[in-house]
Chains A and B, each alone.
Chain A
């Protein structure tokens, strides 16, 4: 049953590729405060700011304040995760059951003007995958690949743990309109950030319908000394290992010389 519900979800996701109707031709322009986050030795997390504006056109004049809704979805590089459940086996707690989540976003932040459910009907949200509960998370179930209902215990546990880690978040009322057409939003990046390319999707809604969308990219990468160490460890691993070992022996030798008493 849950599997079938998931297949419908995937079908809806495919439908999301369809563009909004041209009748509602309103333009949306947005920009992030930075397109590159550099992680250096003092990195403990970052705050991104996104500014955007709704541009009226001849056919679609600007609506009065309060009639627009903005939904911003930032998703990090995709990876395959395993969610495991522990159970009691012969008196000890061991992993007994597991589910693989195939190619799911490592980071997912949904920032909106109002609670997601109030922006549009559920099928519209599902179609555009807006909100954590409406995002497709493909699971491998036996030989099938499908998403499941949002109440599935593995999906819920996955969501909860990712939220506790600060990697998944849904923040309603975090997009504010500074003027009838200009809006800004804060997007936090956690300390334990995943490196790679992030997709930023900004969607404009009114009366429960998608009017326009805008896309952007964000690059999170190591820089300076951190980048040097990580690159050496990856590309010159033998040299790196030998250098690290030499360093260990030097420290050991130094401490025996400094503290020598005999």
Chain B
């Protein structure tokens, strides 16, 4: 069934969009990520303008992270003080990211920068995740404990000043690295149009040693607030949020996420990280392929948008 999207200004098959929402929702529920890094490229592939895709996907991510956050809230698996500290940094990062976005757009090299950033970010995160999870799986085989959190084990991050106690995560750490991570995620999210959950979760685990019990729920709160405000901001500044497209995506995503979450609960954490690592790396390689392999068509035509 074809439906005409009022803002994207093209007809799409409603079931294709719904199925994409379902599939990405399943993955996001399983790994506790927003799934923007999968959904945005898929929509662009369907022929939707990149700017509309980025703006509308924010709605899908906001919906799926809200539904996720609610269930984590009921299980008391969210560290709200930690989330609000990350958010403080996130706002600064988003502002910096939007400024860079505008600058690159004026220089005409936004697409290349986004491509290279995706390759670098997804490649590095993917490889790190895969190698770490393989080591964890091997450790598990040898009968040693697989937990990353060794009580009393401190690194240099724990020596920084401005310490704060995060009760639910049972941590007593400096807020400086928390802000730094928030800034980084906000920055990356604004430039690449992604929620950043797949980067945030590993960073919280590896750098801050946030326990796995609270890490996903906390990351979802951050994603929810940044994406919900990004949606309003996109709507106000560019008028590019397609509510019809977003609604189909989020209904599919909401259903998919529930099944994904159930599938994820039956799997061991290091296996999940291994699979997510492969997924992240695959998307990164797909972007690398586009950059390195000669394109089918050397030419492209676009409407000249007035500079912001």
Which A positions have Cβ atoms within 8 angstroms of B? 39-44, 79-87, 91-95, 98, 100, 154, 157-158, 160-162, 191-193, 195, 222, 225-227, 229-230, 233-234, 237-238, 240-245, 247-249, 251-256, 259-260, 262
Contact = CB atoms under 8 A, between A and B. Distances in A.
Task: Describe B's contact surface by its main secondary structure.
Answer: helix
16 contacts: A41-B4, A44-B4, A82-B303, A86-B300, A92-B116, A154-B299, A161-B299, A162-B301, A192-B9, A192-B47, A229-B7, A247-B246, A248-B228, A255-B255, A256-B71, A259-B258
B234 interface: yes
Given A251-B251, A252-B67, A255-B255, A233 B236 contact: no
Given A95-B108, A241-B233, A251-B250, 9 more contacts: A41-B4, A94-B109, A95-B109, A158-B301, A233-B6, A237-B235, A255-B63, A256-B66, A256-B68
A252 B65 contact: yes
- Which one of A85, A154, A191, A241 has the highest number of Cβ atoms from chain B below 10 Å of its Cβ? A241
Given A81-B302, A249-B62, A262-B75, A93 B291 contact: yes
A249 B308 CA distance: 30
A118 to B, nearest CB: 29
B2 A44 contact: yes
A248 B63 contact: yes
A253 B73 CA distance: 12
Closest 3 CB pairs of A and B: A241-B235, A255-B254, A252-B66
A80 B65 CA distance: 40
Contact of B4 (A93, A226, A247): A226
A79 to B, nearest CB: 6
B2 to A, nearest CB: 5
A83 B300 contact: yes
Contacts of B290: 93
Contacts, number: 182
B263 interface: no
Nearest to B66: A252
B142 to A, nearest CB: 35
Nearest to B25: A255
A160 B2 CA distance: 27
A132 to B, nearest CB: 15
Given A241-B241, A249-B62, A86 B298 contact: yes
Given A241-B235, A248-B59, A252-B63, A230 B7 contact: yes
Contacts of B3: 41-42
A194 to B, nearest CB: 8
Contacts of B233: 241
Contacts of A241: 231-236, 241
B64 interface: yes
- Which one of B254, B291, B302 has the highest number of Cβ atoms from chain A below 10 Å of its Cβ? B254
Contacts of B232: 238, 241-242, 244-245
Interface in B261-308: 290-295, 297-304
A253 B108 contact: no
Contact of A80 (B241, B292, B293, B304): B304
A222 B231 CA distance: 24
A162 B3 CA distance: 23
Nearest to B8: A192
Contact of A237 (B111, B239, B294): B239
Contact of A191 (B10, B231, B302): B10
A248 B301 contact: no
A254 B254 CA distance: 9
B140 interface: no
- Which one of A154, A226, A255 has the highest number of Cβ atoms from chain B below 10 Å of its Cβ? A255
- Which one of B7, B111, B300, B303 has the highest number of Cβ atoms from chain A below 10 Å of its Cβ? B300
Nearest to A235: B239
Contact of B2 (A42, A157, A195, A222): A42
A79 B63 CA distance: 36
A162 B299 CA distance: 11
A243 B243 CA distance: 9
Nearest to A226: B6
Contacts of A191: 10-11
A161 B254 contact: no
Contact of A249 (B9, B112, B228): B228
A161 B300 contact: yes
Contacts of A83: 299-301
Nearest to A190: B10
B299 A233 contact: no
Contacts of A222: 6
A86 B301 CA distance: 12
Contact of B228 (A94, A95, A98, A245): A245
Given A238-B236, A248-B231, A252-B62, A91 B292 contact: yes
B104 interface: no
B74 A255 contact: no
B228 A81 contact: no
Contact of B62 (A157, A192, A248, A255): A248
A249 B295 contact: no
Contacts of A81: 301-304
